[in-house]
Chain A
Amino acid sequence: MSDLPLSGQPPQRDDARPVPFRGGGFKPVRVRYLGAAVIVALILLVEWGTRTGVISNLTLPRPSDVLGTFHDLWVTGMLWEHLIPSVTRLAVGSALGVSTGIAVGVMIGLFSLARAGLVPLVAAIFPIPKIALLPLFVIWFGIDEGSKYALIALGTFTPTVVSTYGAVDNVDRTLIRMGQSFGLGWWSIVRKIVLPGALPGILSGLRIGLSIGIILLVAAEMLGARHGIGAYILEAGSLYDLERLFAGVVILSALGVLTSGVIGWAERRLLSWRI
Chain B
Amino acid sequence: MDLHLDRISHRYGRVEVLSDISLTIPQGRIVCIVGPSGCGKSTLLRMIGGLERPDQGAVLQQGEVPGDCLNPLTFVFQDFALLPWRTVAGNVALVLEDHALPRAQRERIVADVLARTKLTDFRDALPKQLSGGMKQRVAIARALAVNPAVMLMDEPLSALDAQTRELLMDDLVALWTRAPFTAVYVTHNLAEAVRLGHRIVVLSRRPGRIREVVSIDTPLAERRAGDPALEAHQARLWQLMRDEAEAADMELSHV
Q: Give the interface of A toward B (CB within 8 A).
A: 172, 174-175, 177-178, 180-185, 188, 192-193, 196-197, 272-275
Contact = CB atoms under 8 A, between A and B. Distances in A.
Contact of A181 (B51, B70, B85, B98): B51
A188 B97 contact: yes
Contacts of A180: 51
B83 interface: yes
B15 interface: no
A188 B51 contact: no
Contact of A183 (B79, B84, B98, B128): B98
A181 B128 contact: no
A184 B94 CA distance: 9
Contacts of A181: 49, 51, 71, 73-75, 152
B98 A273 contact: no
A193 to B, nearest CB: 7
B71 A174 contact: no
A90 to B, nearest CB: 29
Majority secondary structure of chain A interface residues (helix, strand, loop or mixed): helix
B54 to A, nearest CB: 17
B124 to A, nearest CB: 13
Interface of B: 49, 51, 70-71, 73-75, 77, 79, 81, 83-86, 94-95, 97-98, 126-128, 142, 146, 152
A226 B83 CA distance: 50
A177 B81 contact: yes
A52 B228 CA distance: 95
B81 A175 contact: yes
A188 to B, nearest CB: 5
B77 A183 contact: no
B153 to A, nearest CB: 12
Given A180-B51, A183-B71, A188 B98 contact: yes
A197 B86 CA distance: 11
Contact of A274 (B70, B71, B84, B95): B84
Contacts of A192: 83, 94, 97
Top 10 closest pairs, chain A to chain B, by CB: A178-B81, A273-B85, A181-B75, A182-B95, A273-B84, A196-B85, A174-B81, A275-B128, A183-B71, A273-B126
Contacts of B81: 172, 174-175, 177-178
Nearest to A177: B51
A181 B84 CA distance: 18
17 contacts: A175-B81, A177-B51, A178-B81, A180-B51, A181-B51, A182-B74, A182-B75, A185-B98, A192-B83, A192-B94, A196-B83, A196-B85, A272-B126, A273-B84, A273-B86, A273-B128, A274-B84
Nearest to B49: A181
A193 B81 CA distance: 11
A174 B86 CA distance: 16
Contact of A175 (B70, B83, B152): B83
A174 B77 CA distance: 8
Contacts of B128: 273-275
Contacts of B127: 273
B92 to A, nearest CB: 11
Nearest to A178: B81
Nearest to B78: A174
A81 to B, nearest CB: 43
Contacts of B146: 182
